[in-house]
Amino acid sequence: MTALAPLSVSMSSLTSRLAALIAARPIEPDDYRSAALFTLDALANALAGRKSAPGAILLDWAAAEPLTAGREAMLLGGLTHILEVDDLHRASVVHPGCVVVPAAYALARRRGLHGHAFLAAVLRGFEACCRVGMAVGPAHYRIWHNTATCGPFGSAYAAGNLLGLDHAAMTHALGNAGTQSSGLWQFLDTGAMSKHLHAGRAAESGLLAADLAARGFSGPPHILEGDKGFFKATCSDAQPERLLAEPDAPWQLRLTSIKPWPSCRHTHPVIDAGLSLAPRIGNRRIEHIQVGTYQAALDVCDRIAPRSEYEAKFSLQHTAAAAVTDGHINFDSFDADARTRLAETAARVEIAATAPFVQRYPKAWGAHVSVTLSDGTELSAEREHAFGDPENPLDETAMRAKAAMLLEYGGIAAPATFIDSVLALAEDAALPDLPPAVR
């Protein structure tokens, strides 16, 4: 769609320069394949997320009125973030897939666009929200949920790319995406469902911002660095130089981690290390577990006696106890029976922010787990990078297996057929419809 009136912007603003940087980046065949795998992960999460209490509410909400592209982006974004198995970009602490893929999918399918156009938008959307996330500084994350605040920049860029926005219109779209940024961590105190709303609204807000920009609706080009802008309002230690740094680095999508376990990503280094110890522990009694990690993990996941499944997914103590005791982590690891069974062991978990993990964060999310057994034996394991990080990635076979697990959990018939149809996007195939649940 062409704009109703010409839009102009200063090329000096950070959003304008970000838009230009992303537009100039080349896309190689391997990039399309990576984007297809991340799309598969996001859509499988969304389909599995329908089988949950928050998912049922979102589906009921969506059924109340006609499902526009914006409402579909909101629905899919919320669903994708429910089960806590969606992707995570470490340097920005953003979950880009639950924001970018829903907005791009909802819009591209309505416009009849094929794989390469869709995947290019996904790559560029990841780039936008991750680069903004890297620039907000660490203090932002203590109050603000980066997926919610930085995500709209990604969904706006993805949607704007699909709408064919020129440089000026894209800058205005990013400006109006930024002014909608919000999302607070207060939900953690009660385990409220707001985190899923954060992802959905971030997807919807960016799509709205791009759709309006296509019609000539202007936005503040200095939304990031302005005196009344995003950094000033929400970032006490912003690092704006990181927004445009390393323009020739790999696409941020290819630097994004994939979660193998359904819990907060901050718990995964501990899970990874703990799982490696479980076979050596056997049936011996655990007297004490000591966890050393980085401060952000404690800020979000210090929860010694989780009262709900969701709180257990945000508990270093519970996940450490589950990993070393059971030797596996799955959806059942967080239910009421598991919380009761593991409560005594979780109470013996001591957590602390320690070197070198504090210094390495956020570039590396690591942990050390030490277990003392009743016979005096001490066992320990350390992870600099958790399983699923780019340095220790899930290969395509593992990605397909994870997607199949999620699709089966969501009651999808013939998961392999849907998996193949999503991965065919890398060969410029048409976007598949989302399959219904069969049970």
Residue-wise pLDDT tens digits, 15-48: 999 999 999 999 999 999 999 999 999 999 999 9
> Are 281 and 240 found together in one domain?
no
Residue 399, C-beta contacts closer than 8 angstroms, at least 6 positions apart: 37, 40, 41, 258
Read off the CATH number of the domain in which 352 is found: 3.30.1330.120
What pTM was computed for the model? 0.92
Q: Which amino acid appears at position 175 of this protein? A: G
pLDDT at position 6 over 80: no
> Are 289 and 358 found together in one domain?
yes
What is the rounded CA–CA span in Å between residue 78 and residue 62?
11
> Are 238 and 273 found together in one domain?
no
| Band of residue 8 on the pLDDT scale cut at 50, 70, 90 | low
Asked whether 103 and 72 are in contact (CB, 8 A), the reply is no
What is the rounded CA–CA span in Å between residue 212 and residue 125?
17
> Are 167 and 97 found together in one domain?
yes
Domain boundary (361, 383, 405) is at 383
Read off the CATH number of the domain in which 175 is found: 1.10.4100.10
pLDDT at position 2 over 50: no
Show the 3-state SS of the chain: CCCCCCCCCCCCCHHHHHHHHHHCCCCCHHHHHHHHHHHHHHHHHHHHHCCCHHHHHHHHHHHCCCCCHHHHHHHHHHHHCCCCCCCEECCCCECCHHHHHHHHHHHHHHCCCEHHHHHHHHHHHHHHHHHHHHHCCHHHHHCECHHHHHHHHHHHHHHHHHHCCCHHHHHHHHHHHHCCCCCEHHHHHCCCCHHHHHHHHHHHHHHHHHHHHCCCCCCCCCCCCCCCCHHHHHCCCCCHHHCCCCCCCCCHHHHCECCCCCCCHHHHHHHHHHHHHHHHHCCCCEEEEEEEECHHHHHHHCCCCCCCHHHHHCCHHHHHHHHHHHCCCCHHHHCHHHHHHHHHHHCCEEEEECCCHHHHCCCCCCEEEEEEECCCCEEEEEECCCCCCCCCCCCHHHHHHHHHHHHHHCCECCHHHHHHHHHHHHHCCECCCCCCECC
Report if residue 75 sits inside a domain: yes
> Are 224 and 283 found together in one domain?
no
Stretch 166-194: mean pLDDT, rounded? 96
What per-residue confidence (pLDDT) applies to 67?
Answer: 95
What per-residue confidence (pLDDT) applies to 330?
Answer: 92
| Band of residue 219 on the pLDDT scale cut at 50, 70, 90 | very high
What per-residue confidence (pLDDT) applies to 1?
Answer: 42
Stretch 377-402: mean pLDDT, rounded? 96
For the chain, give the percent of residues with pLDDT over 70: 97
Asked whether 115 and 284 are in contact (CB, 8 A), the reply is no
Report if residue 6 sits inside a domain: no
Q: Which of 304, 337, 367, 407 is nearest to 85 (CA)?
A: 407
> Are 232 and 330 found together in one domain?
no
Domain boundary (199, 223, 255) is at 255
Q: Work out the mean pLDDT of the chain and round it to a whole number.
A: 95
> Are 240 and 278 found together in one domain?
no
What per-residue confidence (pLDDT) applies to 283?
Answer: 87
Report if residue 401 sits inside a domain: no
> Are 218 and 317 found together in one domain?
no
Say how many domains are in the chain. 2
> Are 220 and 313 found together in one domain?
no
> Are 275 and 251 found together in one domain?
no
What per-residue confidence (pLDDT) applies to 3?
Answer: 44
Look up the domain containing 333 and give its range. 265-383
| Band of residue 167 on the pLDDT scale cut at 50, 70, 90 | very high
| Least confident segment among 3-12, 74-83, 225-234, 274-283 | 3-12
> Are 203 and 282 found together in one domain?
no
pLDDT digits (tens, 9 = 90+) for 236-282: 999 999 999 999 999 999 999 999 999 999 999 999 999 999 999 98
Asked whether 172 and 327 are in contact (CB, 8 A), the reply is no
Domain boundary (383, 404, 425) is at 383
Stretch 395-402: mean pLDDT, rounded? 96
> Are 199 and 287 found together in one domain?
no
What per-residue confidence (pLDDT) applies to 80?
Answer: 98
For the chain, give the percent of residues with pLDDT over 90: 95
Q: Does 7 or 389 have the greater pLDDT score?
A: 389
pLDDT digits (tens, 9 = 90+) for 325-360: 999 999 999 999 999 999 999 999 999 999 999 999
Stretch 185-204: mean pLDDT, rounded? 95
What per-residue confidence (pLDDT) applies to 4?
Answer: 45
